């Protein structure tokens, strides 16, 4: 299963992320996960939201550059070594990770690793073959 994530390019200056969060809140769009990466001049906010199409439209109307990408979310036990086990499978499959971020559903129970791969289909097949569960948008958004 794949999830659609929005990526927003931001100037690296105060108030940019706040403006996006306020706009999403005003549009009644819920953020399930957020990752922020930056350089000295710009940043990229990556978000999983409950309505990526509505979010993209609203953000573009406000002048932001927005992309929608497919990512894979993998559920692992929230314990030491959970991510290491996933990485071993991906290493054996020789899959390139473009970026990743993580969050916990219920502390001490489940963690979710979100990945963008150079080959999502190959990575997803390797993970499923190893017994890992990939999550759909509804599962990530509802915290299941």
Residue-wise pLDDT tens digits, 89-114: 999 999 999 999 998 876 668 889 99
Higher pLDDT, residue 68 or 106: 68
Of 109, 126, 51, 117, give the one whose Cα is nearest residue 75. Answer: 109
The total domain count for the chain is 2
The pTM (predicted TM-score) of the whole model is: 0.86
DSSP tally for the chain: helices H, then strands E: 5, 7
43 and 105 both lie in a single domain:
no
48 and 101 both lie in a single domain:
no
53 and 91 both lie in a single domain:
no
Give the domain extent around 124.
71-142
45 and 55 both lie in a single domain:
yes
Is 67 within 8 Å of 12 (Cβ atoms)? no
Distance in angstroms (rounded) separating the CA atoms of residues 38 and 91: 27
Distance in angstroms (rounded) separating the CA atoms of residues 139 and 44: 24
């Amino acid at each position: 299963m794949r999830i659609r994530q929005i990526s927003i390019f931001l100037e690296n200056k105060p108030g940019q992320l706040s403006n996006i969060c306020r706009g999403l809140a005003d549009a009644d769009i819920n953020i399930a996960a957020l990752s922020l990466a930056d350089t000295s001049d710009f940043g990229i906010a990556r978000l999983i939201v409950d309505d990526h199409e509505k979010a993209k439209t609203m953000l573009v109307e406000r002048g932001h550059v927005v992309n929608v990408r497919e990512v894979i979310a993998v559920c692992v036990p929230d314990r030491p070594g959970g991510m290491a086990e996933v990485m071993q499978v991906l290493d054996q499959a020789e899959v390139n990770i473009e970026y990743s971020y993580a969050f916990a559903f219920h502390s001490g129970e489940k963690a979710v690793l979100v990945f963008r791969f150079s080959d999502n289909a190959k990575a997803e097949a390797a993970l499923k073959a190893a017994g890992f569960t990939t999550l759909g948008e509804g599962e990530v958004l509802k915290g299941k």
